Amino acid sequence: LPLNYVAYSACFRREAGSYGKESKGFLRVHQFNKVEMVKIVKPETSYDELEKITNDAEDILKELKIPYRILMLCSGDLSFAAAKCYDIETWSPAENKWLEASSCSNFEDFQARRANIKFKRKDAKKPEIAHTLNGSGLATSRLMVSILENYQTPEGKIIVPKVLQKYTGFAIIE
């Protein structure tokens, strides 16, 4: 341990039928895609691994030079399973507010107990329950909104972030 995994997945929202300003466009779509990061770790390293998985998501925003902030959720906002969680939010000039782009959580042994995920130390007789962590690498539709809004010029052109220009082959979308 640690075991580190990533997966690209399609996700679906339950509240797809809701109506209002936040349900239009890319902000609150019924189906969206994201890259999920998963770690299975030893209990004594799980909080260090939470910092690492959060930094992995943060590094993408640093490379793209998109304004962001990281919030540690209070216990009242945590999911039932999470022991500690960070939300990463990107700035939306059009909405004039922060939008959640990623969430990174330490579930300690909550998921591992239910899935019977164990590991055995080198000299131990009995296996121990592992700790699990999850982090969304970034929701792709929200990331697209952040790039479009934060890189738009007054003339309506979009400057392609430098780190992406080698993949697009161009610097401006007109």
The predicted pLDDT at position 25 comes to 53
The predicted pLDDT at position 129 comes to 97
Q: What residue ranges define each of the domains in the chain, with the CATH number in brackets?
A: 3-173 (3.30.930.10)
The amino acid at 87: D
Q: Cα–Cα distances in Å, from 14 out to 17, 73, 155?
A: 8, 22, 38
pLDDT exceeds 80 at position 13: no
Q: Which residues is 9 bridged to in the sheet?
A: 34
DSSP string of 114-150? Answer: HHT-EE--TT-SS-EE-EEEEEEEEEHHHHHHHHHHH
41: three-class secondary structure by DSSP: strand
Are the C-beta atoms of residues 128 and 118 closer than 8 Å to each other? yes
| Rounded mean pLDDT, 45-56 | 96
Please give the share of the chain, as a percent, with pLDDT higher than 90.
68
| Rounded mean pLDDT, 138-145 | 81
Please give the share of the chain, as a percent, with pLDDT higher than 70.
90
C-alpha to C-alpha distance for 135 and 112, rounded to whole angstroms: 16
Are the C-beta atoms of residues 50 and 134 closer than 8 Å to each other? no
Place of tokens 């934060």: 150
Crossing angle for the helix pair 140-150 and 46-64, to the nearest 10 degrees:
40
91: three-class secondary structure by DSSP: strand
The predicted pLDDT at position 11 comes to 77
Phi, psi of 146 (to 5 degrees): -60, -45
pTM of the model: 0.83
Mean pLDDT value across the chain:
89
C-alpha to C-alpha distance for 171 and 169, rounded to whole angstroms: 7
Which residues are known catalytic residues?
A: 13, 28, 100, 103, 142
